[in-house]
Amino acid sequence: MSQPMSEAQSCGLLYVVELFNLEKEVENMKRWQGCIALSILLLVGSQVFAVEIADCKVQLGRLELDAVVIERIEVFLEGNGAESVVIGIRSERRKANVEEGKATFYRWEVRREIGQESFVMKVVALDPFGEAVARKDHKVAIPTVSLGGTVPRAKGNISWMPIQIKESKIAVEGPFIKGYFTFSAKCGWKFIILEYEIQNIGTRPEEAFYPEYGEIATGSYIYPAWEPPAGLLSEGYVIRESTPQEVKELIGDRAEKRELLPGETARSCVVFEIPENEEPMEIKLNGIFPIISLGKKPPTPEEVAKEEMRSLLKSLSQRFPDLEPDELLTLFNELLKELWPSWEEG
């Protein structure tokens, strides 16, 4: 039979229980203090690392038909916590530190496809641990001018406007010692002539500006502005003296007007030579900053494939003129299977 606890034992037991309860209360207080501290840290952290990419400014330095040269990129940030900025264009990445809320990048050459009107920069702001705190896609337009559009101040107070393009079998070059001469295009080639107009938009007489050099892009290739490689001794051309009408149409005012009065206009041309089976898409002239869009786009892969098939079918019909349509079609499909093993009829 158990003995009843003495008064001293009861007091000791009560003390142990109170001590245990006190330790639990201290533990709970520590836990709450930890939660409060973590909440404060998260709140402060969210304020410190609240970063926004406010703006991106891009300064283009040079345009070419197959490249865009960027002189300077400035990325402006709002908020604190970003240590650096990374920019990606296509597969290339570059990194710059943030100073006074701005990251600056210098001279970047970007490859351009024929007909491409813009490209996208992927901008990411990073904290000191390399974690992304802000992202933004920035679209950069590539300056172009269409036929009938205007480049306001191409040179000084001279505005420049492309008027039209036309195909021609002849081009005029000169002046040589004996004047201007007409060249007939080489076999399998044609001349593309860009006609343009310039105007003095200033208040004083200005020297006329006639750009003559540059490049033209077709769907696949780029060709330089034409000039006879050996002057009047150039081979492959039929050469004769030009008529006054040919000089007027293919040289324009460049033959006479060297200065323009305020408001006065003048016209001239730039000549290119390309293969007969290609079509002009774009032109870039020295001294004219925007790319001149001719309103045409490069063919899609599907269009290229269709054209190749049409050419093959035409070649077969000429080579085997006695075949019936069904026999010709059967031969056509057999050749396609050899060229493209995955080809299926229909």
Angle of CA points 215, 217, 222, to nearest 5°? 70
Spatial contact of 172 and 245, defined as CB atoms under 8 Å apart: no
Rounded average pLDDT over 209-228? 93
How does DSSP classify residue 171? E
What are the tokens at 312? 């093959």
Name the pTM for this structure.
0.70
306 has a pLDDT exceeding 80: no
Phi, psi of 253 (to 5 degrees): -75, -10
Rounded average pLDDT over 89-113? 94
- Let me know if 342 is exposed, middle or buried by CB neighbors in 10 A (0-12, 13-18, 19+): exposed
Rounded average pLDDT over 181-194? 94
User: What residue type is 333 in one-letter code?
Assistant: N
- Mean pLDDT lowest among 37-46, 91-100, 188-197: 37-46
Which residues on adjacent β-strands are paired with residue 7?
none
CA-based nearest residue to 279, from 165, 172, 111, 116 = 165
Taking the alpha carbons at both ends of the chain, their separation in whole angstroms is 105
35 has a pLDDT exceeding 80: no
CA-based nearest residue to 310, from 332, 326, 339, 342 = 332
Distances (CA, A) of 210 to 78, 180, 226: 47, 17, 15
- Mean pLDDT lowest among 145-149, 176-180, 256-260, 307-311: 307-311
6 or 66, higher pLDDT:
66
Same topology between domain 52-142 and domain 145-293:
yes
- Cα–Cα distance measured from residue 145 to residue 238, given in angstroms and rounded to the nearest whole number: 35
Query: Any idea which fold 145-293 has?
Result: Immunoglobulin-like (2.60.40)
- Pinpoint the alpha helices (H) of 115-213: none
Angle of CA points 82, 125, 123, to nearest 5°? 155
Q: What per-residue confidence (pLDDT) applies to 315?
A: 79
Q: What per-residue confidence (pLDDT) applies to 217?
A: 96
Which residues on adjacent β-strands are paired with residue 144?
291
Q: What per-residue confidence (pLDDT) applies to 346?
A: 45
17 has a pLDDT exceeding 60: no
What are the tokens at 257? 């007007």
> Domain spans of the chain?
52-142, 145-293, 302-339
Rounded average pLDDT over 126-141? 94
pLDDT in tens, 257-296: 899 999 999 999 999 999 999 999 999 999 999 999 998 6
165 has a pLDDT exceeding 60: yes
Q: What per-residue confidence (pLDDT) applies to 300?
A: 54
Query: In the chain, pLDDT over 70 holds for what percent of residues?
Result: 80
Query: Any idea which fold 52-142 has?
Result: Immunoglobulin-like (2.60.40)
Rounded average pLDDT over 227-236? 91
Spatial contact of 76 and 56, defined as CB atoms under 8 Å apart: yes
Decide the pairing of beta strands 291-293 and 222-224: unpaired
- Cα–Cα distance measured from residue 343 to residue 346, given in angstroms and rounded to the nearest whole number: 9
Average pLDDT, the chain: 84
